[in-house]
Structure 1
Amino acid sequence: MSVTSRRSFVGGLACFGGLSLGGVRPAAAGIELVAAYPEILKFAVTRDGAPLGVVMERFGHDGVGATAEVFIDFKVTFAGLALYRYEHRSHERWRDGRLFALDSVTNDNGTGQAVSARARRDGLHVEGTDGRLVAPADVLPSSYWHPRFVEQNRMLDSQRGRILDFEIAEVGPETVTALGRPVDCTRYAMRGDIDLDFWYDARRVWQKMSFTIKGSFIEYTRVAPGPADHARFGAPLRDGRRVPVA
């Protein structure tokens, strides 16, 4: 899931090591990586309690490693008029527990953005809106699902293709509502280039996220996916672009 800077409305929206990979054969490691997750992880997103949109992540494997797809669709309206639209699609491929490839496209209220990242011997080569860079080979993308995410102090912004730095502190145990029922979780606070709080359950499955941006309180609440949600992952952005999965 992508993130933007705190200067943007969707800053922090996206908008993921409790599962050990030790002893797992390389071909199966990526598959094991997402084993704790449902096929689709879905969040209803609100802004000051009013519906803003949806964030979804779909997990699978391609026979070699794990895959994760991200779908984000936000709309701010006033008096029935759309004042702001945000769309993001990304596709991640994982090999031996590390990000092997990432492709994303974003429509930020009419501004198109794209990121392409590929693993090479010297690190993850990234090309995005902010130019080119070589990220550390073990960097995680800004989709928040990875069980090792709470141990990080940097991530790859999958909307712009830059590195964001932060610190994560464990706040403590809390019970949140997810899938319409109470779920025991651990709360974490991220502070740095982006500020937000998020909750993972005992298996480090992402259950909730919240933050304040420009005076608005944004909250992600986990909900059950519906029958039509699979098809939404293949939908193009409003400008017609799709994720160019290699």
Structure 2
Amino acid sequence: MIGTSRRGFIGGLACAGGLALSGIRPAAAGPALAAAYPEILKFAVTRDGSPLGVVMERFGPDGADGVAEVYIDFVVGFAGIALYRYEHRSRERWRDGRLAALDTVTNDDGTDQAVTARAGSDGLRVDGMQGRLVAPADILPSSYWHPRFVEQRRMLDSQLGRIVEFTIDPVGAETVIALGRPVDTLRYAMRGDIDLDFWYDADRVWQKMTFTIGGSFIEYTRIAPEPGDAGRFRTPLRDGRGLPAA
């Protein structure tokens, strides 16, 4: 893709990836995070049916806290040439059911981006690409895994460090293919800066996502993690940047 259509697709894909791109039960924190979700939640991502990349999220305890990590790697190519590349790494630290800290780094086709956030007495203090802000203490980041996400009307954009507002409503019960088998889910429609559809199972574990951007249909399908996937979370971006030490 070239010109305006390519730019529109890239911009939308970056938004969806960074907003992508958080399941704790609403009151869960710390080690309960590991029990609430599988260790690694992995999605194969396609563009118009062709492989685009992967999104993975890893969950586990760290003392009294819970930690969620995100790994995203997308490549738009043509004839073996990478036309666009998107990489994102993030780490969320959860304490007493709220986000206590967030660190992210992103390579948006050569554009370096980073966000840091720390809980303070006045809310979540965020340093992002658009400056500093104080977000509500109970805000969720844009990683989509948290079961309370479907109850939200705003979120913290993990790629840019801005607050995004939207609506999200249930569409209805549907059966989707996840982990290679049929899964009963409830579909939700998010409408705002970008329109997304999500599918969560009865425990609100994220199973699927779709959206259309720049004339291309993007689909996230849950698949089983592979040996070695855990090691990919700590790999730096291709520009050498990585997350700060935990």
TM-score tier (shorter): over 0.9
Which residue of the partner structure matches residue 160 of structure 1? 160
Higher helix share: 2
1:12 aligns to 2:21 (yes or no): no
Which residue of the partner structure matches residue 182 of structure 1? 182
Give the direction of change, closer, same or farther, for the CA distance of 1:83–1:34 in structure 2 (3 Å limit).
same
TM-score normalized with structure 1 length? 0.92
Q: Deviations over 1:173-218 (max 9, x none)?
A: 0000000000000000000122100000000000000000111000
Superposed, which structure 2 residues align to 1:30-45 within 5 Å? Answer: 30-45=30-45
> Structure 1 regions of 5+ residues with no counterpart?
none
Q: Deviations over 1:150-179 (max 9, x none)?
A: 000000000000000000000010000000
**Greater CA drift, 38-47 or 7-16:** 7-16
Which residue of the partner structure matches residue 117 of structure 1? 117
Give the direction of change, closer, same or farther, for the CA distance of 1:117–1:18 in structure 2 (3 Å limit).
closer
**Matches of 2:71 and 2:57, distance apart in 1:** 6
Superposed, which structure 2 residues align to 1:86-125 within 5 Å? Answer: 86-125=86-125
- Residue 110 of structure 2 aligns with an amino acid whose one-letter code is G
**Matches of 2:139 and 2:130, distance apart in 1:** 17
Percent of residue pairs identical: 72
Give the direction of change, closer, same or farther, for the CA distance of 1:224–1:190 in structure 2 (3 Å limit).
same
Which residue of the partner structure matches residue 60 of structure 1? 60
TM-score normalized with structure 2 length? 0.92
* Secondary structure, aligned partner of 2:30: helix
- Residue 15 of structure 1 aligns with an amino acid whose one-letter code is L
Q: CA deviation at 1:130?
A: 1.0
**Matches of 1:233 and 1:200, distance apart in 2:** 24
**Matches of 1:90 and 1:126, distance apart in 2:** 14
Superposed, which structure 2 residues align to 1:118-157 within 5 Å? Answer: 118-157=118-157
Q: CA deviation at 1:20?
A: 4.5
Equivalent pair of 1:9/1:214 in contact (CA under 8 Å): yes
- Residue 19 of structure 1 aligns with an amino acid whose one-letter code is R
Q: Deviations over 1:84-124 (max 9, x none)?
A: 00000000000000000000000000000000000001000
